[in-house]
Structure 1
């Protein structure tokens, strides 16, 4: 295993190499200066989604949602809490399926909210429905075999 990971900047799409030993130090994008591992949820577009899910070497959990969806809006603060708890281990993002409907058909999304965990270009697992932060954290830890 390499001592550095590739991360797509979720703000400008630039690929960055970050030493594993420095993941917890708040690395920033070399191009735009945006935080790469902030422990926050990033709102992304289709191009950023495709690049990050295909090339990133740190897991990314993506929330597929829509603004008209009550359970999606209800889960948003829980998703943000899980992002803070797993900072440095998994990145968190969300994509609006109403703005990018092609993502739903491409990924076979039949209902929202839907969380999909990606790692090294592969879908690892799906978690449908609105979930509390503790359940989201457990889902990620179990699938990635991270210590509690």
Structure 2
């Protein structure tokens, strides 16, 4: 190996090490020095739903709203999902969650708002569902 080539190789290795690229320091051809870095796939963000009731106590059949944000699922658009998907309000009846006839589309910003009327007096546990993703429980008392 001639002296000029050795000095060039040592210079490339030194610059690459100083730049923090140990892989670039061991490249064998100039094309390898300028090759793009490999793309690493990341897992999608976990889907989540939030829910907040506009009132904690209402009269029977009085309308209130449940609002929230859908992220990372088919329901929310901020994490690359489709706006216009629906969220549905569910009520705990005994040990089962029953879907109520109260649903709303998710807007382009990932938020939603659902109008709800309840007739079962007492403490009602509610949640919002979009597919298999559910929100934390919201409690509303009906008088």
TM-score by structure 1 length?
0.23
Query: Max radius of gyration: which structure?
Result: 2
The structure with the largest helix share of the pair is: 1
